[in-house]
Structure 1
Amino acid sequence: MRIFIFFSLLICHTLAAPAIFETAEQIVRSALSLTQSYEEAPYEATLIGDEVYERVYPSKKWVCTKLTVNEESEQQQGTMFWKLFNYIQGANNKDKKIPMTVPVTTHVTKTSGTELEMCFYINADEQADAAAPNNPDVYIKEEPTRTIYTRTIGGYMNTASWKTEAQELAAKLQELGVNFEGNSYWKVGYDAPFKFWNRRNEIWYLKK
């Protein structure tokens, strides 16, 4: 229950997002959940300048779902999150609960609309034999080894602040003279809404 509260709110990216908490008891449990730690997707990082890092993520399996929308909103994040959360809570061919991990990533690709792909990293113990999702909208994806550029920013994020950070990081990467795929990026979150200090948010751009 604590994991459910922790990460359902994380995906809202903002305190102003539609409330998942409905009772005082849920709020208390969420605050207590801050003592938990979660397995993070592995990577190697190199500082390239001005708090910007190049990271290499090895090939790993992620569980994902997609939406194509006209405009981004926090509500869409919640819709995708529920599908993935149900998978790790046992909506899979093994009827197995799978540990939550970080980060939660949302790949934003601009086409005729906006394609959103949200993914949870599958923990190390499940990588070799990941359970198949029951929901046809959810799928296991083996990401190839990828190199990304990113920096960490704090605070609470919403749709507008994610877009601002994407623009500012893109400008910074251009200043640094690195080549990256500019037509898409990832919004990446790590923290519960009741973590008030040292929050970790990232935009990822793929290295060309």
Structure 2
Amino acid sequence: MEIPRSSSMALLLLSIVVLPNFFCVCSAIESPQYSVVHSESDFEIRLYRLTPWMSAPVKDISFEKATKNGFHRLFQYIQGANLNFSRIAMTAPVLTSIVPGAGPLHSSAYFVRFYVPTKFQSTPPTPLPELNLKSYTWDSHYIAVRKFSGFARDTNIVKEAEKLASSLSRSPWANSTSAESSYAYSIAQYNSPFRFIGRVNEVWVDVNASGVDGYKSSAIATY
């Protein structure tokens, strides 16, 4: 069926006006700053600067449920559920750190984190007490990162973490996983749950640069 010329013109105008604005909004989302210090085909080592986060502790047996629970509380916080009634811009990634065996019935504990944007880093608004959120700042440190696509699920995050561990074992960073970190690994998610194509996720593992040629020792983030 042929689309009327008036409808075609309307669609063209919509694409000219809306799509650039959409991409501007996406590219404007703030993320923590880092430098890539080592890169291979399937992973890289990043040096992150000192970064402030707002964290939601969650106890659950499911990564997916824990992430949803924690993010729901963080989303309320950035929408104004804080003592300043401040609305805070969304940032990326949403980071879920996994702490194995820390909860009841041998379940896991999680920390779901929101990166605090520059505007609020000096004095982050205090969250409402019922949200049970904690302000946290990690020191500058090294992180091993592996990217993967699709959705981060209970069924695939362990496999992705194992692939990163395998890659590290064959690199100069073998045996560099930090014993000081209080969590096994983290999953960084960069996209809205309503995006189905071109999704970007990452596995993060804290690493210690001491003993690796060409790198200085770095403080590792701990809770």
Change (3 A) 1:87 1:51: same
- C-alpha displacement at 1:146, in angstroms? 1.9
> What is the 5 A alignment of 1:170-189?
170-178=165-173, 179-181=176-178, 184-189=184-189
Identity over aligned residues, as a percent?
25
Partner of 2:153: 158
**Are 1:147 and 2:138 an aligned pair?**
no
- C-alpha displacement at 1:199, in angstroms? 1.9
The structure where strand makes up a greater share of residues is: 1
- C-alpha displacement at 1:135, in angstroms? 2.7
How much is the aligned-residue C-alpha RMSD, in angstroms?
A: 2.0
CA contact (8 A) 1:166 1:185 kept: yes
Unaligned runs of 5+ in 1: 1-31
More RCO (CA 8 Å, sep 6+) = 1
Question: Which stretch of the first structure deviates more once superposed, 121-130 or 39-48?
Answer: 39-48
Unaligned runs of 5+ in 2: 1-18, 209-223
**Are 1:130 and 2:124 an aligned pair?**
yes
Change (3 A) 1:124 1:140: same
Partner of 2:6: none
Scaled by the length of structure 1, the TM-score of the pair is 0.77
Cα distance in 2 for partners of 1:195, 1:186 equals: 21
Number of matched residues?
Answer: 176
Cα distance in 2 for partners of 1:93, 1:54 equals: 38
Partner of 1:63: 54
> What is the 5 A alignment of 1:97-136?
97-113=87-103, 114-136=108-130
Change (3 A) 1:73 1:108: closer
- C-alpha displacement at 1:106, in angstroms? 0.6
Scaled by the length of structure 2, the TM-score of the pair is 0.73
Cα distance in 2 for partners of 1:85, 1:160 equals: 25
Deviations 1:136-172 (A, max 9, x none): 5112111111210012121222111111101111111
Partner of 2:14: none
Aligned-partner SS, 1:51: coil
**Are 1:41 and 2:41 an aligned pair?**
no
After superposing on structure 2, the runs of 4+ consecutive aligned residues of structure 1 that deviate more than 6 Å are none
CA contact (8 A) 1:62 1:119 kept: yes
Change (3 A) 1:72 1:126: same
**Are 1:86 and 2:88 an aligned pair?**
no
CA contact (8 A) 1:186 1:204 kept: yes
CA contact (8 A) 1:34 1:195 kept: no
Max radius of gyration: which structure?
2
